[in-house]
Every structure is written in structure tokens, then in C-alpha cells.
Amino acid sequence: MYELDEKKYLYLLIALPVLAAIFLYNLYWKRRKQKEFGDLEMVKRLAPEKSTFKQTLKFSIFLLALASLILGLVNPKIGTKTETVKREGIDIVFAVDVSKSMLCEDVAPNRLDKSKQVVSQIINQLAGDRVGIVAYAGSAFPVLPITSDYAAAKMFLQSMDTDMVSSQGTALDEAIKLSTSYFDEEDKQTSKMIIMISDGEDHGENAEDVAEEAKKAGIKIITIGIGTEKGGPIPIKRNGQVAELKRDANGEIVITKRNSESLKTISKNSKGYVDGNNTKEVVDYVKKSLENIERNEFESEQFTDFNSQFQWFIGIAFVLLAIDIFLLEKKTKWIGRMNLFNEKKS
């Protein structure tokens, strides 16, 4: 197995064929000028020590050195060993509301983007814990299964939008059910948590009962409320510009408000509710909650350690450059005496 650490430097390899083309054109231009000066055989006699082969060899070595330097910048990494590692942590599922009401801009930049910021900052504080992501509106949708790859989690998080789930509403009960299914039922040792981010509006009727079942299964729940009690309209944008505001069946502008009570009800007797409009307060609250939860050892897994190989390419480049410096362009006398190409001697 291998990976390239800095792939962007691979574009520098384009310079190699460009330099080769310039070199070949220069040889062609010199040969043409020599023909204009006089007979080629006579010109060769005037400069008997000049060697086109040595000149080409020096340039080829220079190109190889340059290619090695570029590969050194790219820093190829090769998995040279496999070892068994163990992690200690908590399984956490983030359930993020992606209903249309999350487009409301009563918090900057809007409720959904604010939710992404909050989740991303929480992930940044984790170490050894595994995370999963669920999206929900009128129904729930799996986004990312349980993983310890935080970079992948944040990438999938940023891709979430209100078009992921076609049915509208805020089905908190469906979100809890799907989040619960992420956890291994047979694993009784690992601590489990669901962190729900929502404005709590238009929630399902069975959310409290489903949350109670999750708590009985040992799953802790934190709810984070996004938005304001005053609320605001839901903008409908086209090409990044607000085209109109969402209206109801009577043509009235829809005003969406955060329903904190529904979120507080779900997380009661568990890890509680926190106002999500202040990112720092949320991160501190979650961090403190996690500190009070016992971390358990995850099942052993195979871990491939990638070792950097850039030093080999840099070393080869310096050796080739040294050869290029000491390699003269004039003919080597002992090779000339061998007459490898059966040249006629005058």
C-alpha cells in the first residue's frame, strides 16, 4: 500500500517534457547552423573533443535528478508494517436536522450551516472516539456509519443539505431510531451517545417514547437547539440569491421558530439540552459531558503505518546532480579509442 503526501507537486513533472523539447530543438538549431557554416565533417574536425552523446547524457541525468527532486516533494509513503492497536473512547452519532426550516437565517449564516459548524467543532475536540452521522427531516437518512476517520466525517458533514430528504417535517423519533441502529447491540461495554441538532419545530409525536427506549438501552442523548424563539422566514434561493420567501397554502409568509421544549423533553433524564447558537458554549458543554462518561476499549484493529520515502528520492537527486557536475561534455579518450561506432579515422 502507498499514498502520496503532497500530490499537488506532481504538476511540476509537466516541466520535464517541456525541457526535453527545448533541448532537442536546441540540438536541431545548432546542427542547422553548423550546416550553414560549412561541411559537417569539417566542423567536427575543428572541434574533435565535442561530443553530442555526452551532452545528451548530461541533460538526461539532469532530467532524472529533477524528476527525483519532484518526487521527493510529493513524498510517497509506503505501508511497511502492520500492527495491532487498541483505542479507548465513545461511539457518538450526530443526528442533524436538514428540514427546510433549517435554512432560516435567524442565526448566521443559517441554522443548517450553524449546525455544521457546531458538529465540526465538537469533532475537533474528540480523541479516540468513533462518530457517525444521520440526516433527518420528515424521515431519517444514513449519511456516515460509525468511523474513527474524522476527516471523512467532516467531509460528509459539509455535503449535507436540505435536499437530502424529500419528505418535510422534523421526525425526531425517526432520527433516534436510525441513530440507535448504528450501535452494535451485542457490544454492552462501549458507551454510546446521540447528539441531536435541530430547531425542534414540527417534531414527531413519538419522539419522547423512542428517546426513553434509547435511554433504557444505555444510550445517552444530548439535544442542541439551533435558531431563536423569535424565529424568521425561510428564504428560497436561486443562484445564491434570495428569490422569494416560503409561503403557506394561504399565501402568508412562513415564520419558523425554534421549539426548545420538544428538544428538552427528549433529553430529560439524560445528558440534557444546550442552546446551540453559541458554538463555544456547546463545545464546552459536550466536552464536559463526555468527560463524565466512561471510555471503553474498542475491539483490536489492524493499523498500517505509512513511512515517508522522500529521503530516497532527494538522495538520488543529489547523486545524479553530482554526476552531472563532474561529467564533461567532451569525448572520453579511452572510449574513443574503442571505436564503438566504427567511425572512419582520418
Q: Has residue 169 been placed in a domain? A: yes
Contacts 24+ apart (CB under 8 A), 44-50: 45/346, 48/331, 49/330, 49/331, 50/329, 50/330, 50/331
Q: What is the secondary structure of 123-165 as a DSSP string?
A: HHT-SS-EEEEEEESSSEEEEEEEES-HHHHHHHHHT--TTS-
Residues 6+ apart with CB under 8 A from 134: 93, 94, 95, 96, 140, 141, 142, 143, 175, 178, 179, 182
Do 197 and 254 belong together in one domain? yes
Q: Residue 76 is inside which H or E element, if any?
A: strand 76-85
28 shares its domain with 104:
no
Of 92, 128, 134, 125, whose CA–CA distance to 283 is shortest? 125
**What would the DSSP string read from start to end of 275-289?**
ETTSHHHHHHHHHHH
CA 179 to CA 211: how far, in whole Å?
Answer: 11
**Whether residues 192 and 146 fall in one domain:** yes
Cα angle, residue 123 at apex, residues 122 and 125 outer, rounded to 5°: 70
Number of domains in the chain: 2
The pLDDT assigned to 300 comes to 45
The answer to whether residues 247 and 253 touch, using CB atoms and an 8 Å cutoff, is yes
Question: What's the pLDDT at 44?
Answer: 61
Residues 9 and 73: beta-carbon distance below 8 Å: yes
pLDDT at 56: 86
* Shared-domain flag, residues 175 and 286: yes
The domain of 266 spans 88-297
Q: What is the pLDDT of residue 273?
A: 92
If asked whether residues 282 and 333 sit together in one domain, one would say: no
Average pLDDT of adjacent 10-residue blocks, the chain of 346 residues: 79 92 88 70 60 82 92 82 66 93 91 94 89 91 90 92 79 89 80 91 75 89 92 85 83 88 83 90 91 69 66 91 80 52 50
pTM over 0.85: no
Same domain as 93, residue 77: no
